[in-house]
Structure 1
Amino acid sequence: MLDRLLLLLTAFGAGAPADDRERGDVPGWVLVTLMTAGLVVALWAVAAPRLEQVFTQAMDTVVGRL
């Protein structure tokens, strides 16, 4: 009975070593996330006036047709 329980626990990862290599590279993903957020902010700062102009023009066209 105990050996079956140990087999089940091992099969579901409860017996995995603490230094498991399958966890991934957390600092790397944090860096990728921060860099992506930085790029979005930089692009938004450059494109915001043009996006506002395009949106305003589109809304004026739609409202003008009502």
Structure 2
Amino acid sequence: MKKTSAREEHGDVPGWVMITVMTAGLVAILTTVAGPQLRSMLVQALSAVGG
């Protein structure tokens, strides 16, 4: 049986941090670009439901 060291058990922490930061950046960019249009669509949908 192969014995694993403590370093191997931690995984790729910097990789996960990079993925999380990149995902947050993409969400921020999409919110900036499409936010006003999405807000407008939501208001229209709520107005149609509310009467």
Same fold by TM-score greater than 0.5: yes
Which TM-score applies when normalising by structure 1? 0.65
C-alpha root-mean-square deviation of aligned residues, in Å? 1.7
| Runs of 4+ residues over 6 Å off in structure 1 | none
Could you tell me which runs of 5 or more consecutive residues in structure 1 were left unpaired when the two chains were aligned. Answer: 1-14
Match of 2:5 in 1: 17
Greater RCO structure (CA 8 Å; 6+ sep): 1
**Cα-to-partner distance string for 1:1-30 (whole Å, 9 max, x where unaligned):** xxxxxxxxxxxxxx85333x2421101110
More helix by share: 2
Could you tell me which runs of 5 or more consecutive residues in structure 2 were left unpaired when the two chains were aligned. Answer: none
